[in-house]
Amino acid sequence: MTRKATVKRTTKETAIACDFSIDGTGVSKIKSGNAFMDHMLTLFAAHGLFDCAITCKGDIEVDFHHSAEDIGICLGQALFKACGDKRGIVRYGTSYVPMDESLARVCLDLCGRPNLVYKVKLNTDRVNDFECDLAEDFFKAFSDHSGATLHIDLIRGRNSHHSLEAVFKAFGRALSQACSMNPRAGKSIPSSKGVL
């Protein structure tokens, strides 16, 4: 089974291409239009062992918001397609990741019911030219379009760069766990309802 997908999205605000493979080795090529977002998505792919190529041409002269949100939409759609009917997957994923003084926890469920609980309080509003609240917009778009329930908590942190780095690494590791195949499940759907 090949678990990968390509998504392209063009609006008056952004033009995005996303190639995503669940069963990769962590190779990524990210050109989001923002260097810090590139760094975060590279960490996500590396620690989740996803192969991921994302290019985004957005109206960053206005703001990076449209790009961050639309990248989340495309990545969510790509994951949804790549997972197929979700037969045999673990479904749930949890990861705690420390990054120096910061500690993040991400718990997720690939259940088909989008929901985001985002409890990340940072000490600064920006890292370089990245507005930190755009991380929440990215994760909301991802949750909505992947059908994932996603709980993200920053347990502690001082440096905003470290804190967001811990969040994105934990996100990659938790998603990798949820997407992994459960050898005991065979081809069953991981739900008592028989459908996700």
pLDDT digits (tens, 9 = 90+) for 35-75: 999 999 999 999 999 999 999 999 999 999 999 999 999 99
Residues 89/179, Cβ–Cβ less than 8 Å: yes
User: Does residue 57 belong to any structural domain of this protein?
Assistant: yes
91 pLDDT higher than 80: yes
Q: What proportion of the chain, given as a percentage, has pLDDT over 70? A: 99
Model confidence, pTM: 0.96
End-to-end CA distance of the chain: 19
Domain that holds residue 119: 4-179
User: Does residue 194 belong to any structural domain of this protein?
Assistant: no
- Give me 6's structure tokens: 């390509």
pLDDT category at 1 given cuts 50, 70, 90 is: low
What does residue 67 show for φ and ψ, rounded to 5 degrees?
-65, -50
Counting the structural domains of the chain, the total is 1
CATH code of the domain in which 141 resides: 3.30.230.40
User: Whole-number mean pLDDT of the chain?
Assistant: 96
